[in-house]
Amino acid sequence: MEKNSWHLSKSVPVSLILALVIQAAAIVWTVSQMQSSIEANATNLIRLETRTEKLEMAVQGQAVALARIDENIKAIRTHVERIASKD
Protein backbone atom coordinates (compact mmCIF):
# COMPACT_ATOMS: atom_id res chain seq x y z
CA MET A 1 0.00 0.00 0.00
CA GLU A 2 1.15 3.47 -0.85
CA LYS A 3 0.87 6.28 1.61
CA ASN A 4 -0.71 9.36 0.17
CA SER A 5 1.28 12.12 1.75
CA TRP A 6 0.40 15.75 1.53
CA HIS A 7 2.09 17.64 -1.25
CA LEU A 8 1.78 20.99 -2.96
CA SER A 9 0.55 20.90 -6.50
CA LYS A 10 2.45 22.90 -9.08
CA SER A 11 -0.83 24.44 -10.14
CA VAL A 12 -1.08 26.48 -6.89
CA PRO A 13 0.22 29.96 -7.64
CA VAL A 14 2.93 31.45 -5.46
CA SER A 15 0.84 34.60 -5.11
CA LEU A 16 -1.90 32.58 -3.35
CA ILE A 17 0.59 31.15 -0.88
CA LEU A 18 2.03 34.62 -0.30
CA ALA A 19 -1.45 36.06 0.20
CA LEU A 20 -2.27 33.37 2.78
CA VAL A 21 0.98 34.02 4.65
CA ILE A 22 0.32 37.78 4.67
CA GLN A 23 -3.26 37.19 5.83
CA ALA A 24 -2.06 34.93 8.66
CA ALA A 25 0.47 37.57 9.72
CA ALA A 26 -2.25 40.24 9.65
CA ILE A 27 -4.50 38.08 11.83
CA VAL A 28 -1.69 37.53 14.35
CA TRP A 29 -0.93 41.27 14.39
CA THR A 30 -4.62 42.15 14.84
CA VAL A 31 -5.05 39.72 17.72
CA SER A 32 -1.90 41.12 19.31
CA GLN A 33 -3.26 44.67 19.03
CA MET A 34 -6.60 43.57 20.47
CA GLN A 35 -4.86 41.91 23.42
CA SER A 36 -2.86 45.07 24.05
CA SER A 37 -6.03 47.15 23.92
CA ILE A 38 -7.83 44.76 26.29
CA GLU A 39 -4.97 44.98 28.80
CA ALA A 40 -4.99 48.79 28.60
CA ASN A 41 -8.76 48.83 29.14
CA ALA A 42 -8.43 46.52 32.14
CA THR A 43 -5.84 48.84 33.67
CA ASN A 44 -8.06 51.86 33.07
CA LEU A 45 -11.04 50.03 34.53
CA ILE A 46 -9.15 49.28 37.75
CA ARG A 47 -8.05 52.92 37.96
CA LEU A 48 -11.61 54.14 37.42
CA GLU A 49 -13.01 51.70 40.00
CA THR A 50 -10.54 53.01 42.57
CA ARG A 51 -11.44 56.59 41.72
CA THR A 52 -15.16 55.82 41.93
CA GLU A 53 -14.73 54.24 45.36
CA LYS A 54 -12.90 57.35 46.59
CA LEU A 55 -15.61 59.60 45.20
CA GLU A 56 -18.34 57.50 46.82
CA MET A 57 -16.59 57.78 50.17
CA ALA A 58 -16.26 61.56 49.73
CA VAL A 59 -19.94 61.88 48.84
CA GLN A 60 -20.91 59.79 51.87
CA GLY A 61 -18.78 62.03 54.10
CA GLN A 62 -20.39 65.11 52.60
CA ALA A 63 -23.86 63.66 53.19
CA VAL A 64 -23.03 63.10 56.85
CA ALA A 65 -21.64 66.63 57.15
CA LEU A 66 -24.74 68.05 55.46
CA ALA A 67 -27.00 66.17 57.87
CA ARG A 68 -25.04 67.59 60.82
CA ILE A 69 -25.27 71.11 59.40
CA ASP A 70 -29.01 70.66 58.90
CA GLU A 71 -29.43 69.52 62.52
CA ASN A 72 -27.36 72.49 63.74
CA ILE A 73 -29.50 74.90 61.72
CA LYS A 74 -32.66 73.36 63.20
CA ALA A 75 -31.24 73.77 66.73
CA ILE A 76 -30.25 77.39 66.05
CA ARG A 77 -33.68 78.13 64.59
CA THR A 78 -35.33 76.65 67.67
CA HIS A 79 -33.19 78.79 69.99
CA VAL A 80 -33.79 81.94 67.93
CA GLU A 81 -37.55 81.29 67.98
CA ARG A 82 -37.44 80.87 71.79
CA ILE A 83 -35.53 84.12 72.20
CA ALA A 84 -37.90 85.92 69.83
CA SER A 85 -40.97 84.60 71.66
CA LYS A 86 -39.64 85.85 75.05
CA ASP A 87 -39.54 89.44 73.82
Specify the pTM: 0.55
pLDDT of residue 60: 96
**pLDDT band, residue 35 (cuts 50/70/90):** very high
pLDDT of residue 65: 97
- C-alpha of 85 from chain center: 59
- In this prediction, residues 55-64 reach a mean pLDDT of 96
CA-to-CA separations, 72 to 14, 67, 75, in angstroms, rounded: 86, 9, 5
- In this prediction, residues 75-81 reach a mean pLDDT of 96
